[in-house]
């Protein structure tokens, strides 16, 4: 067994209880699934494919079926998580990132192990998995879960990833195969364009940092929160500008200035945000929000409330009468956070360019 990379000094390394049910490595390799691991029986309209090691089988339609076609041919048994993995009965597998060594954990009757992807995973995804982009199959580390129902698998995946981080020192994450890589050019053009004229550089460092971290965030909610911080920065800045205006008004007494300043700073957070949104929201942004199902109608007022409600759903760790708690699934693409990310990125960029100082 490989040594711990970043051992937790507050935690004793647990003792092993034997080899995992699904081996860490397959001999011959799992990619030799047709000849060495899986059993094929011809049947009407396709084949029944069985992996004897776990006693699981599925019906594979004839021809070149998509993953959706295969799932429809196995209703109630087979589920795909985008291009991140699959569930077949109580067996589940996922593509992973940040997995550097093999490990296996037992949680009651459920076994979760990090090792080579199984012959079944290789068979199902071989038309999508290109080693040139995603790494050699037999040297990559995947996640295999046995003994739990699909409704419970996500929490066991999270538990195993957290245990892996505590022991090994890096946090694994489910990886969606990025098919855009398959169409990328091998070489990028580096000559001929000359110097490209960029926009004025934003002088406000804090919101610029927020925007940068949002662009680079893997998680949609984390990205949206970073973009929202850009909006909050300039919404608050507008309040300070108003205070500065009051301060320069010689017709206002010192007492009235203090009262007005306190009133501005203690005002509900919605009005300054909504005023900023009114200045940064274009018709294209409203149309994108409408298309993404974020608002029912492309109206500024509805959009303002939707932005504020979404912010509350990812900031406040509780349910409330005015908003719904939102958490990001880790097994499949976040269809809720993705459109918000696109919209808030556009808003934050507009705020940087229109409300920020430039050098």
Q: What is the pLDDT of residues 14-34, one digit of tens each?
A: 566 678 889 999 999 999 999
* Any domain includes 19: no
Among 267-276, 295-304, 333-342, the range scoring the smallest mean pLDDT is 267-276
On whether the CB atoms of residues 185 and 315 are closer than 8 A, the answer is no
| 129 and 217 together in one domain | no
Among 94-103, 147-156, 186-195, the range scoring the smallest mean pLDDT is 186-195
Cα-Cα-Cα-Cα torsion 97, 98, 103, 104, nearest 10 degrees, comes to -50
| DSSP class of 250 | T
* Any domain includes 189: no
* Any domain includes 72: yes
pTM value > 0.75: no
CA atoms within a 13 Å half-sphere pointing along the CA-CB vector of 68: 1
| 343 and 209 together in one domain | yes
* Any domain includes 184: no
Region for residue 63 given its phi and psi (left: phi exceeds 0; alpha: psi -120 to 50; beta: otherwise): left
Q: For residue 255, is pLDDT > 70?
A: no
Residue 215 structural domain: 205-355
* Any domain includes 104: yes
Mean pLDDT for the stretch of residues 314-332: 68
The percentage of the chain sitting over the pLDDT mark of 90, rounded to a whole number, equals 56
* Any domain includes 191: no
Mean pLDDT for the stretch of residues 305-326: 73
Select the more confidently predicted residue: 185 or 303. Answer: 303
Using the structure block, give the residue that is written with the tokens 């490989």: 2
DSSP per-residue string spanning 18-50: S--SS-SS-SS-GGGIIIII-EEEEETTEEEEE
Q: For residue 118, is pLDDT > 90?
A: yes
Using the structure block, give the residue that is written with the tokens 């397959």: 26
| 53 and 150 together in one domain | yes
On whether the CB atoms of residues 83 and 125 are closer than 8 A, the answer is yes
pLDDT tens digits, one per residue of 81-117: 999 999 999 999 999 999 999 999 999 999 999 999 9
Q: How many domains does the chain have?
A: 2
């Amino acid at each position: 067994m490989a040594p711990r990379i970043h051992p937790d000094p507050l935690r004793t390394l647990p003792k092993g209880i034997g080899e995992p049910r699904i081996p860490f490595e397959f001999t011959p390799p799992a990619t030799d699934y047709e000849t060495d691991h899986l059993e094929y029986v011809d049947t009407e309209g396709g084949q029944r494919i069985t992996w004897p090691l776990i006693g699981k089988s599925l019906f594979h339609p004839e021809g070149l079926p998509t993953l959706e076609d295969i799932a429809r041919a196995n209703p109630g048994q087979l589920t795909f998580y985008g291009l991140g993995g699959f569930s077949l009965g109580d067996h589940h597998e996922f593509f992973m990132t940040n997995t550097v060594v093999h490990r296996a954990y037992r949680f009651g009757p459920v076994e979760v192990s990090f090792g080579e992807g199984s012959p079944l995973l290789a068979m199902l995804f071989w038309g999508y998995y290109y080693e040139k982009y995603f790494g050699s199959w037999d040297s990559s580390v995947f996640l295999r879960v046995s003994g739990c129902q699909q409704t419970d698998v996500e929490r066991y995946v999270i538990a195993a990833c957290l245990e892996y981080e505590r022991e090994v020192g890096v946090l694994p994450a489910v990886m969606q195969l990025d098919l855009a890589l398959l169409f990328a050019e091998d070489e990028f053009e580096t000559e001929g364009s000359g110097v490209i004229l960029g926009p004025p550089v934003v002088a406000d460092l804090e919101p610029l940092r927020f925007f940068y971290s949002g662009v680079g965030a893997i998680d949609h909610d984390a990205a949206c929160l970073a973009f929202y911080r850009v909006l909050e920065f300039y919404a608050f800045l507008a309040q300070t500008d108003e205070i500065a205006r009051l301060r320069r008004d010689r017709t206002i007494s010192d007492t009235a200035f203090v009262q007005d300043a306190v009133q501005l700073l203690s005002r509900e957070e919605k009005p300054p945000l909504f005023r900023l949104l009114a200045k940064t929201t274009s018709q294209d942004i409203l149309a994108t929000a409408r298309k993404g199902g974020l608002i029912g109608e492309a109206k500024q007022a509805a959009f303002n409330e939707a932005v504020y409600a979404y912010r509350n759903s990812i900031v406040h760790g509780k349910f409330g009468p005015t908003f719904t708690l939102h958490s990001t699934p880790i097994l499949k693409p976040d269809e809720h956070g993705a459109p918000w990310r696109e919209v808030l990125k556009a808003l934050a960029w507009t705020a940087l360019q229109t409300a920020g100082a430039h050098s």
